[in-house]
Amino acid sequence: MKGIIIAGGLGTRLRPLTYQRPKPLTPVANRPFLEYQVALLREHGVDDIVFATNYMAERIEAHFGDGTAFGVRMRYALEDTPLGTGGAIRNAAEMFPDETVCVFNGDVLTDFSLEKIIELHIQKKAIATITLAEVPSPNPYGVLILDKQGKVQDWTEPSEEKKKTLSTDNELMSGGKELINAGFYVLEPSFIAQIPHGISQSLERDIFPSLIAEKAPIYGTSPKGYWMDVGRAEQLLAATQAILSGQIHTAAPGQAVGAGTTIAPSTWINGMTSIGKKCRIGDGCRLENCIVMDGCSIGKHVRLSNVIVDEGCRIQDEVIVEGRSSGTPVIASGSTLARGTRLVI
């Protein structure tokens, strides 16, 4: 089985972290996010992978090379202009003519059994199988309706405006559960052939709804396991904590503290915090549920809670930054917080 990872997005929801790097290389527990997807594919026998790239494509290729260091064969389908999720798949699939492919959206962290999903796809003789996750309703994702045999009857994708509203409104009450697109697909060549070549197409808005309306054999499955769409700062923090706590099984292990980091003995750091390489943390600090990336310097008596600190930041003595109900504060790369700064968000 061949693999495609869609890794060309701008990562706007993760800014300012994605001003310095492509979203798929954003570190999660001190490992670039894409490494978890590559390791999962390899674990389930998918070792020939194409990255569909656009934004900062050269950074992704420089990191993974030909894939030898990761135990896979790695190739790259560069989009001169963004082609959308559908166009990206069609472009990448040119490297796998007439072959069934597994496709990952580049922002999905999961430990689903990919083998079982592939087996179901073959059993159902599907042209496409969509992996689903159960989440509270309402939600900012595409919602699917299945019949008793698991065939997809309907796919409703919210507008971008509605997605934004639902993803940021913490006051919405749950009205039950819904099955949403979890961003992993098994696709046959006959499905891929339905995607126009060389033009921007949305898999979610254009391709799937059209074929579902034609009663094409498209099936959904909701496997057990961990799933997270890592598209926003609070989700990046939650994914890091899931790895550090062992809530998710990952074939590529995370790391709490990077090489070359020094931490004063009087500092307290909880187990849900990751700290990158070559950081320095001074006396009397307290870090709780944080991500501190490479090359940061933190002074004395600093308190950070539910915060993401990007690379190369300087946080002087007696600074307090706390993330609360309104979101996860992100301190942009290279920033300096002066002594005594107080931020409660």
Q: Any idea which residue has 């008793």 for tokens? A: 148
- The encoded tokens of residue 284 equal 């009397």
Give residue 180's pLDDT band: very low, low, confident or very high (50, 70, 90).
Answer: confident
Look at 293 and 253; give whichever has higher pLDDT.
Answer: 293
Compute the average pLDDT of residues 280-285: 96
CA angle 75, 127, 102 (to 5 degrees): 25
Highest mean pLDDT among 73-82, 122-131, 195-204: 122-131
pLDDT at 212 over 60: yes
pLDDT digits (tens, 9 = 90+) for 31-66: 999 999 999 999 999 999 999 988 888 999 999 999
Q: What is the pLDDT of residue 164?
A: 61
Chain centroid to Cα 11, Å, comes to 10
Residues contacting 221, CB < 8 A, separation 6+: 116, 117, 120, 129, 130, 131, 132, 150
Give the strand order in the sheet containing 308-309: 274-275, 291-292, 308-309, 330-331
Neighbours of 238 (CB within 10 A): 18
Q: What is the pLDDT of residue 173?
A: 44
Q: What is the pLDDT of residue 171?
A: 53
**pTM (2 d.p.):** 0.88
| Of the options 3.40.50.2300, 3.40.1280.10, 3.40.50.150, 3.90.550.10, the CATH number for the domain spanning 2-245 | 3.90.550.10
Compute the average pLDDT of residues 321-333: 86
* DSSP codes joined into one string, 319-336: -EEE--TT---EE-TT-E
Compute the average pLDDT of residues 166-193: 76
Mean of the per-residue pLDDT values of the chain: 89
Residues composing the chain: 345
**SS3 for 297?**
strand
Answer whether 183's CB lies under 8 Å from 102's CB.
no
pLDDT digits (tens, 9 = 90+) for 221-247: 988 889 988 988 999 999 999 999 999
pLDDT at 323 over 70: yes
| Of the options 1.10.10, 3.90.1690, 2.160.10, 3.40.190, the CATH number for the domain spanning 262-344 | 2.160.10
Look at 325 and 21; give whichever has higher pLDDT.
Answer: 21
Map out the domains of the chain as residue ranges: 2-245, 262-344
Q: What is the pLDDT of residue 140?
A: 64
Helix (H) or strand (E) holding 288: strand 286-288
Query: Which candidate, 274, 278, 287, places its Cα nearest to that of 313?
Result: 278
Look at 267 and 54; give whichever has higher pLDDT.
Answer: 267
pLDDT digits (tens, 9 = 90+) for 251-260: 888 899 999 9
Q: What is the rounded (10 degree) CA torsion for 84, 85, 88, 93?
A: -160
Q: What is the pLDDT of residue 184?
A: 93
